[in-house]
Amino acid sequence: MSLYECKFDEVLTNIEKVRLRVNQHQIIKIIAVSKSVGSSEISNMYDIGQRAFGENRIQDLKSKVETLNKLPIEWHFIGRLQTNKINALIDLNPSLMHSCSSLKMAQEIDKRLEVKGKTMSVLLQINSAYEDQKAGVLPEDAIKVYDEILSTCKNIKLKGVMSIGAHSDDKALIRKSFKITHNIFTQLQTQGAKYCSMGMSSDYELAVECGSNMLRIGSTFFK
């Protein structure tokens, strides 16, 4: 068994333990965050069954999409998006854009999609930890902003929400931020929200415990 297989199996085992304890019906999707590795490492992960990969820089995403174009990879964009990179992202046709951080950004993306005759699947980013260094709408504004995007951005397919857990060693604080996001997600399911993207290498088990159904795991796989 390769090192990648060992790490992958370990993550799956850890997720399964939590899932069986808290919600046996939960289906959890893993996005392998490949921002720190090259195309060969992505190919190795693909060979053991991983299909969804996440990048946080447009240029890196473009390079890897082009290099690995023979593989039917599901590409996710998970980074901060600058206005001048919106067209480039649209042209790459990502499966899902995780980091729409405001109504203004959504409307700007929508405008460019309209011009190009395209649509894009998007998650609304929520700053559930109330941290200045994090992007995203505040929890108290999230449902209103989500509804406004639904009603004003016809080319955006809103698929749910994303957040980053509190930057802390205190599990109680991280859990609180995850629960805030999941509570909003639950309310938005009547509006078609499908994904609650939260949990990374350092806190994915806690995220699953709090209801996440999409994990963004990088260093656990690739370091």
Give the C-alpha distances (Å, rounded to integers) separating 30 from 11, 33, 182, 187: 10, 9, 17, 23
Determine the CATH number of domain 3-7+38-222: 3.20.20.10
Task: Read off the tokens for 178.
Answer: 């995850």
Distance, in Å, from the CA atom of 99 to the CA atom of 208, rounded to the nearest integer, reads: 20
Place of tokens 């200045």: 132
Boundaries of every domain in the chain: 3-7+38-222
Per-residue pLDDT of the chain (223 residues; tens, 9 = 90+): 678 789 999 999 999 999 989 877 889 999 999 998 999 999 999 999 999 999 999 999 999 999 999 999 999 999 999 999 999 999 999 999 999 999 999 999 999 999 999 999 999 999 999 999 999 999 999 999 999 999 999 999 999 999 999 999 999 999 999 999 999 999 999 999 999 999 999 999 999 999 999 999 999 998 8
